Amino acid sequence: MYRKEQPLHPKPLIRDLLKEKQAELTAAERKLSAVLLDDSLVAGLQSITRLAEAAEVSTPTIIRLARKLGFDGFPDLQDAIREEIAARMKRPLAKLEVGPRPGDHIIARFTEAVAANINRTLDRLDLATFDAVAALLSDPARRLHLLGGRITRSNAHYFFNHLQIIRPGVTLLDSSPSVWPQALLDMGPEAVLVVFDIRRYERELEKLAGLAVEAGAEVVLFTDAWGSPIERHAAHVFRAMVEVPSAWDSTLAINLLIEALVAEVQTRAARSSAERISTLEGMIGASKIFRG
């Protein structure tokens, strides 16, 4: 019998398999998937018992995830992880350089953590999701509503500031839940709710997302590695790494995604956005707001 020395098609990457299967996974399996992806699969080189402890799941959960990915069991998955990591180490990677490190200074440690967050966020980024969200946000028929939580309110505000210059029909929701019912009046099938929610997750935001979906709106969620409960309502999800050597989480990786989306939305709506920016500059010039 003829035996092929090389497969006709390259084997899919474990990282890609984990992303593709997200919708089919249980909550425990998604938790395990996040642990594997967070550490570029290195966590998968541990024993099944230690991996279960690290992910806070059961060993049967690990076996079930392996089988859902198309492997006979955990040993088979672990062999594939070893091969993938070895292959990745053999080729140069375009990684963010952190530059000179002045000892153990907080600047060095913080920069290194942020660089790792950005790299790991990009490793996990589903480009199809990015393109789908960019198409949604650049569609003038869609009315956009943005809202952030206690920590991510500034991210929502930053995104709003750019989008409302590029296109019409963009609203930044008030931080007070008492006024959200009025906003829900405008959330029909053509509405998109862009919501930011990282740990500690906010129950009010989840409630709003559920009501928006009931009204026919699509939800785009920006969250952290562990995943906000809003994920079950969201049509599109971006998970970003947020841990840094601080009592506060960092949203710099989230802002990278925001700025990339702003650039893509402006490209997709180049003519109309150019007209809006030109009109805005004319208004600013006429009003002399920024002149001495």
| Residue-wise pLDDT tens digits, 198-245 | 988 999 999 999 999 999 999 999 999 989 999 999 999 999 999 888
On the question of pLDDT at 283 being above 90, the answer is no
Among 158, 276, 251, 264, CA closest to 199: 251
CA distances from 10 to 2, 6, 13, 68 (A): 19, 9, 9, 19
Q: Could you check whether the bond before residue 200 is cis, i.e. omega within 30 degrees of 0?
A: yes
Worst-scoring range by mean pLDDT, 3-7, 18-22, 66-70, 153-157?
Answer: 3-7
* pLDDT value at residue 281: 72
* pLDDT value at residue 287: 64
On the question of pLDDT at 132 being above 90, the answer is yes
Average pLDDT over residues 138-156: 95
CA distances from 129 to 39, 58, 179, 231, 239 (A): 21, 30, 30, 14, 11
Q: What digits encode the pLDDT tens for the residues 18-51?
A: 888 888 899 999 999 888 887 667 788 888 988 8
Whether 195 contacts 209, CB under 8 Å = yes
Percent of the chain whose predicted confidence (pLDDT) is above 70: 86
On the question of pLDDT at 67 being above 70, the answer is yes
Q: What is the largest CA-CA distance in the chain?
A: 85
What pLDDT band is residue 100 in, cutting at 50, 70 and 90?
low
* pLDDT value at residue 87: 67
pTM above 0.75, yes or no: no
* Angle ∠(273,252,184) on CA atoms, nearest 5: 60
Worst-scoring range by mean pLDDT, 5-9, 32-36, 51-55, 134-138?
Answer: 5-9
How many whole angstroms separate alpha carbon 160 and alpha carbon 258? 10
Please state, as a whole number, how many other Cβ atoms lie within 10 Å of the Cβ of residue 155: 23
The secondary structure of 43-110 as a DSSP string is: GGGS-HHHHHHHHT--HHHHHHHHHHTT-SSHHHHHHHHHHHHHHHHHS-----------TT-HHHHH
What pLDDT band is residue 6 in, cutting at 50, 70 and 90?
very low
On the question of pLDDT at 111 being above 90, the answer is no
How many whole angstroms separate alpha carbon 141 and alpha carbon 65? 40
What does pLDDT average to over the chain? Answer: 85
On the question of pLDDT at 147 being above 90, the answer is yes
How many whole angstroms separate alpha carbon 20 and alpha carbon 27? 15
